[in-house]
Amino acid sequence: MTTQFDHGVRRRSQRLADLQNQTEELERMLSDARVLLKREFEDSGYDPDPIPGLFDTAADAHAGRTAMDTATLFDDDPGRFEFETGTAPDNYADDAGPGPADPSPHPRTVGLVTHGRGGRQFRSFSQRRLIAVAAAAAAALGVILVLVFSGSSASWPASVATMQGETATACKNPDVASEPGQVNFACATATRQVLWVFALMTSGGNPAFGDAKSGRMGLEPITPAQGGEVAWSLNLHHPYNPVRPVDSLEVAARAINNIIGGATVTGSNGSAVIQPGLESSAANCARYTGSPALRSRRDFPSRCADPVTVPAGQAALVADIYQKWMVGASPQAAQEASVLFENAGNPGDPAVQAILRRLRNAQPAG
């Protein structure tokens, strides 16, 4: 019993000492807070002492007022000590175990020390600050929305929407795939934008485009005579017309597919002549698919064993197609065609807009 009693006395003495230290620390914090709040109110033009007693002198605090306020701050703490009696409450029984060595201030204490006691003027001041912050945030949000929507307002030239509809019609022709390998990159749903991208690059999307120097007409970069030869293999139901968009796009689709997949044609001696395509090269297949593996069949051009489905591989393929499709095209033009292809759904891309400006300011290649 004596040991337990001595232990309880020591615990009470330690707690009282800790509380005294905490009180002194709170006095210092309150003093600092008073100074900061006073400066803040003075800067704002409000009464520097809107909270009665907030800016009392240090003498008042040392006279016991601050100590009593500190005790009040712990009203919500079930383990507080009663300053008036100096006794511990029942919930600090001797067998409760040792308390924390460095008790932290109660959340309510922290709130009052940090913000002061809630006066009407102070609450009004805080509300004004919140309104100002909200207004600033709304203004910033408005700027962001303007930037976002202004960036997304960019669009393709009006001819693109027209060509997209014409491309859908042209791709209904089942004979646009390469022969005999049946490659149909030009009209596959995920890649058929290659048709209107190439037409935009070479003729500005104008089906009536004509180049007197080369004799080229329409959307595809070949002469009417060459187009007529290709059209014969497409089983067109009327004579080929190079300035009719659907005819022109069908011919372009077959040409692009043959460039990719190659073709088998009949030579002058009647034997089959195999013309390789871009996918007949192992090095190209490694660029397009990540694998150099080829699939070969007798009397068929070789093709990549894996399909070209990766966006980066498709973009590389489009650049290579363009340089063969548009004879004499520069590597830069081929790269621009690739960029337009990759960003078919993102006309606001800065690189796309730069290319479109150049196309508007320059005569389409002939």
Q: Are residues 33 and 85 in the same domain?
A: yes
Number of residues that make up the chain: 366
Decide if 67 contacts 84 (C-beta within 8 A): no
Residue 130 pLDDT: 60
Q: DSSP character for 94?
A: G
Rounded distance, CA 254 to CA 79, Å?
87
Task: Look at residue 214 and tell me if it is in a domain.
Answer: yes
- From first to last of its 366 residues, the chain has per-residue pLDDT tens of 444 444 444 555 666 677 677 767 766 776 776 666 666 556 655 554 444 554 444 444 444 444 444 444 444 444 444 444 444 444 444 444 444 445 444 444 343 344 444 445 545 555 566 666 566 666 655 545 444 444 446 889 999 999 999 999 999 998 899 988 999 999 999 999 999 999 999 999 998 888 888 888 888 887 788 888 777 777 765 678 888 999 999 999 999 999 999 988 877 787 878 899 999 999 999 999 999 999 999 889 999 999 999 999 999 999 999 999 888 889 999 999 999 999 999 999 999 999 999 998 875 444
Task: Look at residue 366 and tell me if it is in a domain.
Answer: no
Q: Are residues 135 and 191 in the same domain?
A: no
Residue 296 pLDDT: 92
Show which of 96, 118, 140 is a domain's final residue: 118
Q: Are residues 247 and 295 in the same domain?
A: yes
Task: Look at residue 290 and tell me if it is in a domain.
Answer: yes
Q: Are residues 145 and 192 in the same domain?
A: no
Q: Are residues 140 and 184 in the same domain?
A: no
Task: Look at residue 183 and tell me if it is in a domain.
Answer: yes
Q: Are residues 239 and 299 in the same domain?
A: yes
Q: Are residues 57 and 175 in the same domain?
A: no
Domain that holds residue 27: 2-118
Per-residue tokens: 197: 């991208």
Q: Are residues 113 and 222 in the same domain?
A: no
Q: Are residues 267 and 314 in the same domain?
A: yes
Decide if 41 contacts 48 (C-beta within 8 A): yes
Task: Look at residue 194 and tell me if it is in a domain.
Answer: yes
Residue 351 pLDDT: 96
DSSP β-bridge partners for residue 294: 304
Rounded distance, CA 199 to CA 252, Å?
9
Q: How many domains does the chain have?
A: 3
Q: Are residues 180 and 98 in the same domain?
A: no
Q: Are residues 302 and 356 in the same domain?
A: yes
| Residue 105 CA: distances (Å) to CA of 55, 109, 205 | 22, 6, 74
Q: Are residues 182 and 112 in the same domain?
A: no
State the CB neighbour count (10 A cutoff) for residue 295: 13
Residue 30 pLDDT: 66
